[in-house]
Chains A and B, each alone.
Chain A
């Protein structure tokens, strides 16, 4: 364990603001969007290999996941009636802007694909839309990691390397889980494999995240977010093991699917709340920045040894 660091603060108050994003809106948007994106992949794979039942289920999950997710996203806005302002401009510096341009076409394409399949009308256009949704799907599942990381929230920002893989794995596990829940075991072998691979990806990426972040891993391990993250990984592991026996029993398959879905939801809540916890405590803002200054000063001293440099007004002094 990292020893408690000493630091100064202004009456113990936080420095960065706590994100104003609402719970459960935003964590649920992440869950539904992540599941929908990976489901679009599953649907296209099923279409190519001729698994009609799996295709039908995955298309429905992709379309409804995107729809429900969009409702949560709009509900989170301070001015929901201005949702379309998201599409005024496209800015690559804003993951929320890029995400809007991923979510909007994905929702349209996934809905078209699902509608074509369920009604049996315009099958070719529906199929084409399905391919389009599968192209946008992986980005829809992973861009939300950039959404969190491209902030000053310490536990989110510093996790930018692993978070996209946590979300990719969590989305795959949820998509596979949803298909296991809603499809007969004989038809859902690809869904089981997708969920299993997703679970492995999520668990290993989350473990890597905690190891690399040092002190900033604390918010993911302590308190309520810590409990959420631990429960999520235990449930994911449980579902992964149980899924090896889900091929023959509909009941086991359904239970596995439900467990994957629960775990994926908890992961999103855990990551969300870990970020909030790291914003609320000035320690996570001050101590890593102090360490950065110390490293820079040590490097500077090593660089110009004997130059008689005056390092009195240190913090942001020009590096002359």
Chain B
């Protein structure tokens, strides 16, 4: 039981009760080859018939989508980050919001790395990072565990899917997700998120976003195989000197037991709007219930004690 709440878990579908099931399927999103075309966003909207969710110009680089939500299941983030200056730091106030200087990120001070992503024009060079974000289909999915209706469930492919005919819009999944993925659709009242194209998977097809991706930044396949592919790609990039490359969500021993959809990033996760060290809330569930129980007993004792003592 404790293992189902958090920690390493090698057979998610088996743990969910499937006796025979296909291998766990997922995404490996290699952001080092993302060109920011947003074909994934469009393909996802089209295939899943998602309603439009506003038309805003944000000023956040090319990102007018802003975030994942009930009607946005792929979101391409665009990060414009100044390259660290080559001149001596005189400690003068710089440009941009605080904390944007990579000196403070704790990363090795590599020379302009990931040359395919870097646009260097002298000293005011900009690193332009793009990343297509998606539901992580966690090994330990908080949204699924807190859902009181059983609307969210684990599929035979190890993915996490909402059943719209069951969801009553209680909204518990929304603050439970450590990545801020799932949300309620206001005009509808129910919760929605990426299904990893459950309908297409059942027909042996590739999810729409991965199918549409022109650079194979979004790779779909068996999670075990994708992990190997990701390890090879990381080794290749590190070998080329792209020492800012790191995998995110690949580790089956991390706070959510590893993600079914994981990433290769070229900066710290929070730069892309991802939590640096997400932990599924159910890790603490047993302790939470123990404290609730202790408080309930305290309250009962307090109630009994109120009837002792002198009558006034």
Binding site for B on A (CB under 8 A): 6-21, 37-38, 41-42, 44-46, 48-49, 76-80, 82-83, 85-86, 88-89, 91-97, 100, 134, 137-139, 141-143, 145-147, 149-153, 156-157, 160-161, 163-165, 167-168, 171-172, 176, 189-191, 193-194, 197-198, 201, 247, 275, 279, 282, 285-286, 289-290, 292-293, 312-319
Cβ of A97: which chain B residues have Cβ within 8 Å of it?
A: 148
B280–chain A nearest beta-carbon distance, Å = 8
Contacts A/B (CB < 8 Å), 11 sampled: A9-B271, A17-B177, A41-B303, A86-B149, A91-B145, A138-B297, A142-B299, A150-B281, A150-B285, A293-B276, A315-B277
Q: Is the CB of A150 within 8 A of B176?
A: yes
**Besides A11-B58, A37-B299, A145-B295, 11 new A-B residue pairs in contact (Cβ under 8 A), listed by A number:** A9-B271, A13-B66, A17-B181, A38-B303, A79-B168, A85-B151, A134-B303, A142-B299, A152-B177, A275-B175, A318-B251
Contact code string B294-312 (vs A, CB < 8 Å = 1, else 0): 1111111011111101011
Interface of A is mostly: helix
CB contact under 8 A between A9 and B270, given known A15-B275, A151-B175: yes
Q: A171-B299, A313-B234 are in contact. Are A153 and B175 (CB under 8 A)?
A: yes
- Indicate whether B245 reaches chain A with its CB closer than 8 angstroms: yes
Q: Give Cα A93 to B140, complex, Å.
A: 12
Complex contacts, A190 vs chain B, CB 8 Å: 306-307
Provided the pairs A146-B288, A151-B146, A201-B302 are in contact, do residues A316 and B250 lie with their beta carbons within 8 angstroms? yes
| Interface residues, chain B, with chain A CB atoms under 8 Å away | 5, 58, 60, 66-67, 77, 79, 97-100, 104-105, 108, 142, 145-151, 166-172, 174-184, 188-191, 234, 238, 243, 245-251, 253-254, 268-278, 281-282, 284-285, 287-289, 291-292, 294-300, 302-307, 309, 311-312
Q: How far is it, in angstroms, between the C-alpha of A144 and the C-alpha of B247 when the chains are bound?
A: 37
Output the nearest chain A residue to B269 by Cβ-Cβ distance.
A315
Question: Which residues from B are CB-within-8-Å of A153?
Answer: 175
Residues in A whose Cβ lies below 8 Å from that of B288: 95, 145-146, 149-150, 160
Distance between Cα atoms of A18 and B69 in the complex (Å): 12
Check A15/B249 contact, CB under 8 A, given A45-B304, A78-B190, A152-B142.
Answer: no
